[in-house]
Structure 1
Amino acid sequence: SISIYRRFFHRCSKFPGPFWASLTKFWALFTVRGGEYHRTVRRLHQKHGDFVRVGPREIDICNVEAIPTIYGLGTKCIKGPWYEGTLMGGHERFLQNEKPDAHMWKRRIWDAGFNSKSIREYEPHVLRIKDDLLDQLEHVRKEKGVVDLGLYFSFFTWDIMGDLGFGESFHMLKSGTQNNAMTIVQGFAQFNALICTIPWCATLFAWLPKAKLAEDLFTFAKERVKERLPLGKSRADIFTHLLAEDRVSKKKYNNLELILETFLTVLIGSDTTSSSLATICYYLIAHPEKYDKLKTEIHTFDGALTHINTAKLPYLNAVIREALRLLPPIGSGMMHRETPPEGIDVDGTHIPGNTTVGVGAFEIQRDPRYYGQPDDFIPERWLGEGPEPFDRNAFMVFSYGPYSCVGKHLAYLELCDVIAAVVKAFDMEFAPGYDPSTYETSIKDSVISTRAYLPVILTPR
């Protein structure tokens, strides 16, 4: 039977892993459904070593040597089947599973939208909405006493990406309420993670009631693009760059591609950054001595807290990197690739061809071979003052190589500017009755990591 073949004679049968994972992808489906995939796979690596079979033809790898082999420039690995499940309205995929050549012209357009010149043009938008954030935090602090930082960071990043992606802020900070699209995305991301796990069933999932979330999001993005198009290239925003022609191939996005790409901008650019902001604040409050060091750095800095300055604050940047190391905001599935027919070799181990492989950021960034005291929050390690070992090559929160996150510079702009501003404006402490030990476990692995509840007391400085 197929089960006997997969268990004993399949090309991946030599790799250890859960019994049911060797027979069916439904093992992964049930693990993903609970949002515990990243933690489960880490435990499997601790038990079995660098190579773990997590599907009939899927190997998860926790070895730094695999990163350039799978994701680096010139790799023969291509995006894996996971991407086939990223369906939206009309059964179009918002994350494309393309060959590298087809991807490059789009990547050049995106790169132009996120180069240093473009980031400088975006900063006034970020600073304006950052002021809205500080105003709303002060208002909620006075009205309610307890502030859910995760929620208001979500409002902030959604307003930013609405402004830069669709030409107008969603005004969630000023209204104090989330719009319908944000509500839909939260349900859609969790549902879509299931589809991506078994993508060959995507058309069957399309008949389920929750699949309407994809249609609703597509309609939302379509309407926003329709409203933005008349402005053309008149604004300094991401959409202006998406309207441009690739300088090499002379290709341009068609209308459908614009809808999918701008939706992707908002989805990936908002929730990943907001969860990172909340995580940074969580670790600071949970580690008062680190928090005090950052306060001293920011309060003794003599200058405007714009990105040209915040990017140079060493301890601030170390805090950000350390928080991202411990709780990367991107889901495990986005790291999936497929090996070429001849297979690949990683640190002396041969991975057969046509096999799905991946290196999970959560697992490798907590591996004691690459980071001393890997589960501890130690920003000093990024300043050459932490425990050994320390291997920057194992830090892959923004992925790696040609498919790495194009928006990482915008993300760092938001993270640096907002954390500096919040630390300067307020003292933070956990709200009475809140158990901070629940924060890490409440972060679930989805298409992107889910936002956790973070109730705090803010005291103006």
Structure 2
Amino acid sequence: MLQLVTALSVTQLLLLITGIYIFYVTISAILDPLRSVPGPFLARFTRLWYLFAIYKGNFELRDIEIHRLYGAIWRVAPGEYSIDDIGAAKTIYGHGKGYVKAPWYWAFMTPGPGTASLFADQDPHRHAINRRKISSLYSMTSLVGYEPAVNNCIELLTSRFCEIADAGKLFDFQHYLQCYAFDVIGEITFGKRFGFLDLGEDKEGGFGYIANWTLQQITAKKQEAKGPNVSEKETTPDFIARLLRVQEEDPEKITNSDLFMMCTMNIVAGSDTTAISLSSLFYHLMRYPQAYKKLQDEIDTAARKGRISNPITFKEAQDLPYLQAVIKEALRKHPAVGLPMQRVVPNASPITVAGHTIPPGSSVGINAWVAHQNTSVFGPDASEFRPERWLEYEEQGRNGEIEKYFLSFGMGSRTCIGKNVSLLEMSKVVPQMLRTFEFVIDESAEERVDGTGKVVGLESYSRWFVKQKGFMGRVRRR
């Protein structure tokens, strides 16, 4: 009998707590000064709608669809909003505006006291200090030192594609681009590849493997630095060697925690984003044959006139205007990240969007997928892959204006620090592949279609990164 009474008491207590919670969220929704902001009904009361929408793996498309329905702002959760407004972008992501990263970025923080992920850190002062520690390693002048590492991996990728071409095999294009991106960032960071291109497969994978491998490489590099012929090894241009030299000069400036955080950040962020961007580029070239031929002609002409080397240098690649336009358009059409980049509205600077003044403490963000489909910025053909638009913007002197809403690498003080490294990898590998091979997408490739049956891109899966799948193709030697 006592057990029954106890059970009833617990049940009643749970019902009471549930009732109080429902009453609280209902009253909060009714009294919300922004209750007129549109959005899905459940999103007015709970974050569960947003959680489920992300779980389904295609939130970037849902975000575009809802903005087309509701306009510049809609509610994704209580106190959280998705924005599509170029003026708001300047405020939300502008330098010194006080909009810090939203609390959910803590999911990306490294464990342990005193450590802070450069990507996820909400403290702008600490972020600025940590960014300054390594910013020179990502500068345009530093890229020259990384080119041999990229060349090595391009040579290996070429060998793998030659084998596939000779065998006449069908292959997963995205997989090999991922192997390339991993091996490049491994060699740039540690002077040592993961070996995925050597094997033609990723046998390990996973963050646990990356973390352990990173610790092993840091330990090995430290021991190497203490060994014989140190003066010769100090010229090694890899990322960790440069960091260790800074640590030796000032141990407090670069701690062991800094070493681990910076190296894992390099690998995790640098590999996936570059592989996704390259997959977008090659996919769209295959689906838009005129663009493919135009780029190939530009590369062939430059090679014939002796304007590019073999392998091409980064500087030479920057002087190929259509190549650079193709890279930008691939980044625009398929940004690596598929969620809004949320920021907290500060007390000092509330923001007004579409007539709605958003109060301090709210979370606001712009999704690059949404921004890049904005027809008032990118034109009525924003849904199409058309690299020529970037050449037109340049002729019109509008590049600076347009790039204020080009969010593939983020914006403002939190722009991706590895942006130049990713552009280096892309600018070098694309010409080398197109001058050597012909690529054709296979009918078995998994593609998205819209309501009219039109193919709109590769099938992808997104929880944060929008990673393509089923990118099947064939390759032959030219």
Superposition TM-score, scaled by structure 1 size: 0.86
Counterpart contact for 1:242–1:253, Cα < 8 Å:
yes
Segments of 5+ residues of structure 2 without an aligned counterpart are 1-22, 226-233, 450-455
Q: Please say if 1:410 is aligned against 2:396.
A: no
Counterpart contact for 1:325–1:397, Cα < 8 Å:
yes
For residues 386-410 of structure 1, the C-alpha deviation after alignment (integer angstroms, 9 at most, x for no partner) is 9999833211111111110111111
TM-aligned CA deviation for residue 243 of structure 1: 3.7
TM-aligned CA deviation for residue 244 of structure 1: 5.7
User: How many equivalent residue pairs?
Assistant: 427
Q: Which letter does structure 1 place at the counterpart of 2:368?
A: A
Structure 2 residue corresponding to 1:309, chosen from 316, 339, 348: 316
Q: Which letter does structure 1 place at the counterpart of 2:357?
A: H
SS of match in other structure, 2:468: coil
Q: CA 1:10–1:234 in 2, change beyond 3 Å: closer, same or farther? A: farther
Q: Please say if 1:401 is aligned against 2:412.
A: yes
Mapped to 1, the partners of 2:48 and 2:241 lie a distance apart of 42
- Partner of 1:223 in structure 2? 216
Q: CA 1:73–1:244 in 2, change beyond 3 Å: closer, same or farther? A: farther
Structure 2 residue corresponding to 1:27, chosen from 34, 37, 49: 49
Segments of 5+ residues of structure 1 without an aligned counterpart are 186-214
Q: Please say if 1:339 is aligned against 2:350.
A: no
Q: CA 1:88–1:144 in 2, change beyond 3 Å: closer, same or farther? A: farther
Counterpart contact for 1:80–1:336, Cα < 8 Å:
yes
Q: Which letter does structure 1 place at the counterpart of 2:236?
A: R
Counterpart contact for 2:446–2:459, Cα < 8 Å:
no
Mapped to 2, the partners of 1:384 and 1:241 lie a distance apart of 40
Counterpart contact for 2:44–2:77, Cα < 8 Å:
yes
Q: CA 1:251–1:52 in 2, change beyond 3 Å: closer, same or farther? A: farther
Counterpart contact for 1:166–1:239, Cα < 8 Å:
yes
SS of match in other structure, 2:127: helix
TM-aligned CA deviation for residue 251 of structure 1: 4.7
Q: CA 1:403–1:241 in 2, change beyond 3 Å: closer, same or farther? A: farther
Counterpart contact for 2:368–2:407, Cα < 8 Å:
yes
TM-aligned CA deviation for residue 343 of structure 1: 4.5
Structure 2 residue corresponding to 1:426, chosen from 415, 437, 443: 437
Counterpart contact for 2:174–2:279, Cα < 8 Å:
yes
Q: CA 1:386–1:406 in 2, change beyond 3 Å: closer, same or farther? A: closer
Counterpart contact for 1:307–1:416, Cα < 8 Å:
yes
Q: Which letter does structure 1 place at the counterpart of 2:77?
A: G
- Structure 1 window deviating more from structure 2 (441-450 vs 16-25): it is 441-450
SS of match in other structure, 2:121: coil
Mapped to 1, the partners of 2:34 and 2:223 lie a distance apart of 53
Give 1 or 2 for the bigger CA radius of gyration: 2
- Structure 1 window deviating more from structure 2 (229-238 vs 155-164): it is 229-238
- Structure 1 window deviating more from structure 2 (40-49 vs 390-399): it is 390-399
- Partner of 1:205 in structure 2? none
Mapped to 1, the partners of 2:393 and 2:264 lie a distance apart of 41
For residues 188-209 of structure 1, the C-alpha deviation after alignment (integer angstroms, 9 at most, x for no partner) is xxxxxxxxxxxxxxxxxxxxxx
Counterpart contact for 1:343–1:354, Cα < 8 Å:
no
Task: State how 1:34-73 maps to structure 2 within 5 Å.
Answer: 34-73=56-95
Q: CA 1:250–1:433 in 2, change beyond 3 Å: closer, same or farther? A: closer
Structure 2 residue corresponding to 1:105, chosen from 120, 123, 129: 129
Mapped to 1, the partners of 2:209 and 2:275 lie a distance apart of 23
For residues 317-367 of structure 1, the C-alpha deviation after alignment (integer angstroms, 9 at most, x for no partner) is 11111111111012425x111111244224564221011111110001101
Counterpart contact for 2:445–2:470, Cα < 8 Å:
no
- Partner of 2:191 in structure 1? 167
Q: CA 1:251–1:96 in 2, change beyond 3 Å: closer, same or farther? A: farther
For residues 261-318 of structure 1, the C-alpha deviation after alignment (integer angstroms, 9 at most, x for no partner) is 2111101100110111111010001011111111110101032121111111011111
- Partner of 1:261 in structure 2? 262
Q: CA 1:385–1:221 in 2, change beyond 3 Å: closer, same or farther? A: closer
- Partner of 1:457 in structure 2? 474
Counterpart contact for 1:6–1:22, Cα < 8 Å:
no
Counterpart contact for 1:110–1:406, Cα < 8 Å:
no
- Partner of 2:452 in structure 1? none
- Partner of 2:158 in structure 1? 134
Superposition TM-score, scaled by structure 2 size: 0.83
Q: CA 1:93–1:252 in 2, change beyond 3 Å: closer, same or farther? A: closer
Q: Which letter does structure 2 place at the counterpart of 1:148?
A: D
TM-aligned CA deviation for residue 216 of structure 1: 5.5
Mapped to 1, the partners of 2:242 and 2:38 lie a distance apart of 46
Mapped to 2, the partners of 1:332 and 1:42 lie a distance apart of 11
Mapped to 2, the partners of 1:217 and 1:12 lie a distance apart of 44
Structure 2 residue corresponding to 1:352, chosen from 359, 380, 384: 359
Counterpart contact for 1:427–1:459, Cα < 8 Å:
yes
Q: CA 1:5–1:253 in 2, change beyond 3 Å: closer, same or farther? A: farther
Q: CA 1:93–1:441 in 2, change beyond 3 Å: closer, same or farther? A: farther
Counterpart contact for 2:458–2:471, Cα < 8 Å:
no
Q: Which letter does structure 1 place at the counterpart of 2:337?
A: I
TM-aligned CA deviation for residue 69 of structure 1: 0.6
Q: CA 1:6–1:420 in 2, change beyond 3 Å: closer, same or farther? A: farther
TM-aligned CA deviation for residue 71 of structure 1: 0.9
SS of match in other structure, 1:450: strand
Q: CA 1:385–1:71 in 2, change beyond 3 Å: closer, same or farther? A: closer
Q: CA 1:38–1:251 in 2, change beyond 3 Å: closer, same or farther? A: farther
Mapped to 1, the partners of 2:139 and 2:93 lie a distance apart of 21
Mapped to 2, the partners of 1:341 and 1:251 lie a distance apart of 34
Mapped to 2, the partners of 1:316 and 1:344 lie a distance apart of 41
Structure 2 residue corresponding to 1:122, chosen from 98, 122, 146: 146
